Amino acid sequence: MSDPIRVLFICTGNSARSQMAEALLRFMGGSDFEVFSGGTEPKGVNPYTVCVLDEICIDWSAAVSKRLAGFVGQRFDYVVTVCDRARQACPYFPGRHEMLHWDLEDPAEVEGTDEDKLDAFRRTRTEIADRLRPFVEQARVARSAREVLALEALAIEGEGSAAN
């Protein structure tokens, strides 16, 4: 069995966008993915985040905001920043990985009624899901291609040592 594809989503507060991305990718990607999120300045999971995930049957009530520093030094296949401030503050992550940037509007900055705020969170949830659908397939294909190349390299190496 293949190792899971490790993905880290980063935003400033780890309260809305990166939390939604983590929850949605865990749901959409299943066991093919190991997903995390963190913030440069974590401030607690926004209750509207929990609410709009619950609307699509994802229980995110036990989620907590995590400090990005706790992930420094870990290996990831993909590091995805979801806001410009996090992109600018993103630390170095070792190893080969792909850096992606999705500049998503912060639904927590929307003012107005509860319904206005919920609508903003729903729009963000939809935008993230729309970005994740092709990402999931592309990441799976890329992993398969890397595995084929690794097997071919092993076969060539084995042929070389058998000839000696």
pLDDT tens digits, 13-67: 999 999 999 999 999 999 999 999 999 899 999 999 999 999 999 999 999 999 9
Looking at 28, 58, 89, 90, which residue is catalytic? Answer: 90
Edge-first strand order for the sheet with 33-39 is 33-39, 5-11, 78-81, 98-101
5-163 placed in CATH 3.40.50.2300: yes
Determine whether 51 is an active site residue.
no
Of 8, 24, 83, 139, the catalytic one is: 83
Q: Where are the beta strands (DSSP E) in 2-151?
A: 5-11, 33-39, 78-81, 98-101
Among 11, 16, 63, 128, which one carries the catalytic annotation? 11
Question: Is 83 noted as a catalytic residue in this protein?
Answer: yes
Percent of the chain with pLDDT over 90: 69
